[in-house]
Structure 1
Amino acid sequence: MQTRTLTFALPGDITTLTGGYVYDRRLVEGLRAQGRDVAVLSLSDAFPTPDAGQMADAVARLQALPADRPVIVDGLAFGALDPDGVAAITAPIVAMIHHPLAQESALPADLADHLWRTERANLAHARHILVPSPHTRQMLIDRYDVPAERITVARPGTDLAPQAERSHPVDPPLILSVGILHPRKGHDVLIDALAGLRDLDWQAVIVGNPWDADHVAALQARIARTGLGQRLTLAGRVDDDRLRALYRQASVFALATRYEGYGIVFDEALSHGLPIVSTRTGAVPDTVPGDAGLLVEPDDAPALAGALRTLLADPDRRAACAQAAARAGAALPGWDDTARQVGRVLDALR
C-alpha cells in the first residue's frame, strides 16, 4: 500500500541553486506526480551550524510531525541535529544523505569531528537512508556503521538535453565549470590550471551560486593575479537560459572538485555531450565514464592543466570523448526513475 502523505524537511529554500537542493526539489515534484501529498518543511538555513535557538526550533518542528506521516530529512540538517532530539521524533525518518557533513572541505577539525559524531548517532535513528551514489552508500557502511540493508541508492535523474542544445561549440573553445562557489568545488585549482595554459587559445566561464562574499572575493583576486583578463569569467549565478546556452557553446566541462558524494553537474555535462576534466575523488570516478574525459588527483593544478591541454590541443581526442559522453548521457535515468525508487522505499515503511 502506498504511503500517500509525507513531509520533506530541509534547511532554507528548496529552490536554492545547488545540486543537493535541485535533487530535493525534483524529488518532491516526482513524488507529488505519483499522487502523494508532500509537505515541505523549511528549517533554518543556518544548518549545519545553527545556534541553540535555531536547533531547538528545528527539533520541535520535527517532533511535532504526526507519528503516521514519514519525514524525509535532508542531510544538511539531519546530520547536525541534536541526537537526543532526533531520538524523540515519532514520525518514521528517512534520511537523505547527499554526502556526509564531516566530508565537507575547509572544516575545522573539531567541527568535523562533532558532525561525524552527530550524523553517526542520528543515522541510527533513521528507518531508512537514501544516498545518490554507491560511493556514499559504502562510506556510510564503513565509517558510520549503517547496515547495508537500510541504505538505498537513488541516483539523481537527468533531463536529456534536446538535440538542438547538445553541442554547438564556439571559437575559441569554451571551458565551462559549474558548481557552487565554495572551497570544496576547487575553483581556485581550476584558475591556477588555466593560468598554465596561456599559450593555447581558449575562453572559460565559472558558473555557481556564491557561498559567501569572502570566498567570491578570494576567487576574483586569484583571477586578477593570473593576468588572464577577459579570457576567464567568474559568472556567479546565471539564469536557466544562460546556463543552457553555455552548455551548448562549451567544448569541455571542467570541475576541480575536492570531493563529491555524486555531482549532478557531471550528468548535465554528459547529457550535453561534453568531455569532462575533473578529479579522482569521491563518487566522480563512478559518475564520469572513463572514455568520456580525464580525471586527475585533487588539488593538482599542473595535472589538471595537463588534462585540459590534452583535450584542447587534440581535437580528435576531444571529439572521441564527446561522443562517449553523449552515449553515456543518453543512457542516464530520468527524475521520474529517481522518484519511483524513493517511492518504493516509502511504501515499504511500516
Structure 2
Amino acid sequence: MTDTGPGPQRVVHFVLPGEVDDPAAPSGGNTYDRRVCRGLPAAGWRVRSHAVHGRWPRPDPAARGGLARCLAALPDGAPVLLDGLVACGVPEVIAPEAERLRIAVLVHLPLADETGLDPGVAGDLDARERRTLHAARAVVATSRWAARRLVARHGLAADRVHVATPGADPAPLAPGTDGATRLLCVASVVPRKGHGRLMDALAAVADLPWSCDCVGGVRADPDLVGQLRSKASELGLGDRMRFVGPRAGAELAARYAAADLLVLASHAETYGMVVTEALARGIPVLATAVDGVPEAVGRAPDGSVPGLLVPSDDPAALAGALREWLGDPAARRRLKISARGRRAMLEGWETTSHRLARVLERLRCEPRTTG
C-alpha cells in the first residue's frame, strides 16, 4: 500500500503486516486495515503506510530488524498506528520508540487468544503484548468486548483503550437458493475458526438436505484443509461440505447472494466481520456465541436477534440449531425478517474511520513526553 494522495496536512504512519494486500491471504484484520487506509483521508488524515514482512507475531531477527529500521526512520513526534499483529509480539522494538513517537496499537485479536497455541507460547505472547500496550499511548480495539478484555487482562487504563468497530458496506438483499439449504462459511482455514466442529455438527444433520461452501484462505497450516477434507470423507459428507479457497470481489458477492444462512463455529472471535457482511445482505446467522460475536450479530429494531447463537462449549447445540433452521420454516421466516431489520441499522466504514480519526487527533495533541 502507498500514500493515499495529497489530502490534509495531518499525517499518520500506519505500520501493517506485509501480507495486507495479498489476495491469497484474506482476513478480517487485513480488510479492516485496507478500509481505514482508504477512509482516513476523508476524516482529515493523510495515511503513509509501511508494510513490514515477517512471520508476525513471532518474527525472525531479519523481520524484527526491518520493523526497527522502519520506526527509526520516522520523524520525532509523528503519530504512528501499528497493527497489533506486528507490534504486540516485539515490545523490545516498540518500547524504545514510544519515547519519541506518538504510538497507537490497533488490536484485532489478543495474541494469546489464538486457538491451538502451546501454553508456554501463549504465556510468552501475552506478556509481550502487555509490555507493548503499556508502552503505547493509545490502544484501539475492534469491539467493545475486546476493549474490556484488554483493560482487564493487561491492567490498562480504560481511557487509553478506544473502540472502532468494523463497518459494513451496503449490499443488495441476497436471493438465496431455496431459502434453507445453502449454507455458507466465510473464514480463514485456521483452528480458531472451528471448521472441524462445524463438520461434526453437519454430520449430525446429514439426514437433512443441505450443502455448505467454506470460503477462506489457508494460513499458517497448509495441511489443515487436507485433514478436514479427509475427515469429511470419513464422516460420509462427500462433496456436501466444499472448501473452495479464498474469494473476493464479485466472486465472494456471488457466494453471499446464493447463501440462505451464514454459519460460523469459531472458538474465538474479536468481532466477526463476516457476520455483518451477511446481515448487510439480509442473511441470518448461526454462530457460536464467543467473545464479540453477539455484539456483531446485534438486534433488530424490534429487539429480535437475527440469528441463532449457541454456546461454544456445547457441541450438540450447533447441530441442534442447524436442525432447527433446516426443519422449521416458521423459525426461518422470523430470522429472515429480523436479519433485514438489523441490516438497516448497520454502520458503514466511514464511521469506523471517523472514530479512529478521533483517537489519532487526541494522540496528536498529547504532550510528547511520556509518563
- What interval of TM-score do these two structures reach, taking the shorter chain for normalisation? over 0.9
Question: Could you tell me which residue of structure 2 aligns to residue 101 of structure 1?
Answer: 111
Question: Could you tell me which residue of structure 2 aligns to residue 207 of structure 1?
Answer: 215
The residue type equivalent to 2:119 in the other structure is A
The alignment status of 1:310 with 2:324, answered yes or no, reads: yes
* Alpha-carbon distance change, 109 to 248 in structure 1, aligned in 2, over 3 angstroms: same
- Between the two proteins, what is the percent identity of the paired residues? 36
Question: Could you tell me which residue of structure 2 aligns to residue 335 of structure 1?
Answer: 349
- Residues 190-231 of structure 1 show CA distances to partners (whole Å, capped at 9, x for unaligned) of 111111111111111111111131112111111121111122
Quick one: which of 159, 164, 175 aligns to 1:167? 175
**What's the TM-score, normalizing by structure 2?**
0.89
- Equivalent runs, 1:1-350 vs 2, <5 Å: 4-15=10-21, 16-83=25-92, 85-89=94-98, 90-163=100-173, 166-170=174-178, 173-211=181-219, 212-289=221-298, 291-298=305-312, 300-349=314-363, 350=365
Q: Which runs of 5+ in 1 are unaligned?
A: none
Kindly state the Cα deviation for residue 84 of structure 1 after the two structures are TM-superposed: 5.5
Return the alpha-carbon distance in structure 1 between the equivalents of residues 166 and 179 of structure 2. 32
Q: Is the 8 A contact 1:172 1:203 kept in 2?
A: no
Return the alpha-carbon distance in structure 2 between the equivalents of residues 13 and 3 of structure 1. 28
Return the alpha-carbon distance in structure 2 between the equivalents of residues 271 and 82 of structure 1. 38
Q: Is the 8 A contact 2:183 2:263 kept in 1?
A: yes
Kindly state the Cα deviation for residue 34 of structure 1 after the two structures are TM-superposed: 3.5
The residue type equivalent to 2:236 in the other structure is G
Which range moved further: 76-85 or 132-141?
A: 76-85
Return the alpha-carbon distance in structure 2 between the equivalents of residues 275 and 10 of structure 1. 33
Q: Is the 8 A contact 2:45 2:357 kept in 1?
A: no
Return the alpha-carbon distance in structure 2 between the equivalents of residues 174 and 305 of structure 1. 16
Q: Is the 8 A contact 1:55 1:82 kept in 2?
A: no
- Residues 206-262 of structure 1 show CA distances to partners (whole Å, capped at 9, x for unaligned) of 111111311121111111211111221111112322221121111111110000111
Return the alpha-carbon distance in structure 2 between the equivalents of residues 319 and 14 of structure 1. 39
Q: Is the 8 A contact 1:59 1:86 kept in 2?
A: no
Return the alpha-carbon distance in structure 2 between the equivalents of residues 63 and 197 of structure 1. 56
Q: Is the 8 A contact 2:180 2:325 kept in 1?
A: no
Kindly state the Cα deviation for residue 13 of structure 1 after the two structures are TM-superposed: 2.4
Give runs of ≥4 in structure 1 deviating > 4 Å. Answer: none
Return the alpha-carbon distance in structure 2 between the equivalents of residues 238 and 27 of structure 1. 21
Q: Is the 8 A contact 1:12 1:45 kept in 2?
A: yes
Secondary structure at the counterpart of residue 7 of structure 1:
strand
Kindly state the Cα deviation for residue 45 of structure 1 after the two structures are TM-superposed: 3.2
**What's the TM-score, normalizing by structure 1?**
0.94
* Alpha-carbon distance change, 3 to 114 in structure 1, aligned in 2, over 3 angstroms: farther
CA-based RMSD: 1.7
